[in-house]
Structure 1
């Protein structure tokens, strides 16, 4: 290794060692972003951002030494993990590739008005849904994006409690 390459190697290593830990990313970025979406469930921007940060927790867990968190999350959440992954990658790259069980093209989500007077839409609203939301269609039916994010976050907390001891998931 040349002196230049050795220096670059140490700079990169030192930057990685001070990167956010999973708990910090969860507490400072992921949970606030998803809670903002919970409070504004019809917002496309908040939906996309919530899916992006929820899925990217994967990389933080891998950096912390966890092996293949995708497999554990997929098993624990059924469809939710692949919905979040599809929306995340479809948003970042305009569409998903064939490696995604849930295909998503940016803009393919639907606004679901609440089932209340003046807002109710017969083909879009769901009975007893006073908030509305954003959803995508899958082979298994419509999936609410907030519910998918919340399910994945609960799975992170359940599967990897050692990383999220000080994180408060109670507001999901």
Structure 2
């Protein structure tokens, strides 16, 4: 089954590619790799939430925002090379704007990792980092980057 068909089976639609908020492009291909820029939880052109996880945003809400970030990353990949050209998700780097003492970054970024597993199956299992940070662009609670391998 194609990745596009799997998304449809899951009842998930890719959003429009989020417009860059600075001087960069949403994704770049280099050989067989596609690297996305940091993706924020934009929904229909607006940031879905702001604040720090563990204070202003609950871990459960942040997990849902991480899933939104992953959908935005997949949209960037799809626009550049087509989602069905992906043969493997290689690496996910997730950043969580964390309140002092919050240490649940891995559970938050699971929102993205679980989506990738649902869409790509075994090829969606990836290396990952989940990093707590003081601030993210525009006050977003979550940001992520994705690296995928594409077929030739």
Q: TM-score, normalised by structure 1?
A: 0.31
Computing the radius of gyration over CA atoms, which structure comes out larger, 1 or 2?
A: 1
Report the structure, 1 or 2, having the larger helix content.
Answer: 1
Structure of higher RCO (CA pairs closer than 8 Å, 6+ residues apart): 2
Q: TM-score, normalised by structure 2?
A: 0.34
Report the structure, 1 or 2, having the larger strand content.
Answer: 2
